[in-house]
Amino acid sequence: MPTSSKADRTAAYWAFEDSLGYLARLVFRSFSMLREAKTREHGVSAGHWPFLRQLWREDGVSQHELSRRLVMQDATTAVALRGLEKEGLIHRRVNRRDRRETLVYLTPHARALAGTLLPVTREVQAAATRGLSPEEVERLRGLLFRIVANLAEEEFSSRC
């Protein structure tokens, strides 16, 4: 048996039916691996994707603001953006109104990539939710969000 069969893997997943944390880990990892497989050929890695995606929505924002929107640390953002800049996907400019800030802009190339890569999200999303009704997907999002909110509050209160 060269690799584990699909039935084997499914059995492994069921072993965690009692843990939402593990299920979330599997969902997250499956999503990003599948997406990376589809975006790699365009020179976009798993780590760059969230930044690109957010910048397609709005660019010309500061690194700190970008970190906030992606719920990332400033250090993580700084390292990732260095990579994106080296790939020619972004360029940075000092904010004239507050020259402490560096504003991040997409290059024309990165902007054009949106047309190619945004459908990828929809593809992955469609594959992931195959067999689920729109109502079920909506319910899932709602439940996930309530969990995120619960845990954020927990973390918040344990800090104070």
Partner DNA sequence: TGCATCTTCTTAGTATACTAAGATAATGCT
Partner DNA sequence: AGCATTATCTTAGTATACTAAGAAGATGCA
Kindly list the residues in this chain that would bind its own copies in the complex (CB under 8 A): 4, 6, 8-10, 12-15, 17, 19-28, 30-35, 37, 50, 54, 57, 68-71, 121, 124-125, 127-132, 136-137, 139-141, 143-156, 158
> Quick check: 75 binds DNA (CB under 7 A)?
yes
How far apart are the C-alpha atoms of 31 and 65, rounded to whole Å? 25
How far apart are the C-alpha atoms of 46 and 141, rounded to whole Å? 22
Shortest CB 101 distance to DNA, Å: 5
Judged by beta carbon distances under 5 to 8 A according to partner kind, the member of its own copies, DNA, none in contact with residue 122 is none
Judged by beta carbon distances under 5 to 8 A according to partner kind, the member of DNA, its own copies, none in contact with residue 99 is DNA
User: What is the DSSP pairing of strand 102-106 with strand 61-62?
Assistant: antiparallel
| Residue 45 phi, psi dihedral angles, 5° rounding | -90, 170
Closer CB to DNA, residue 30 or residue 125?
Answer: 30
| Angle, vertex CA 147, rays to CA 141 and CA 151, nearest 5 | 145
Tokens of 102: 């560096």
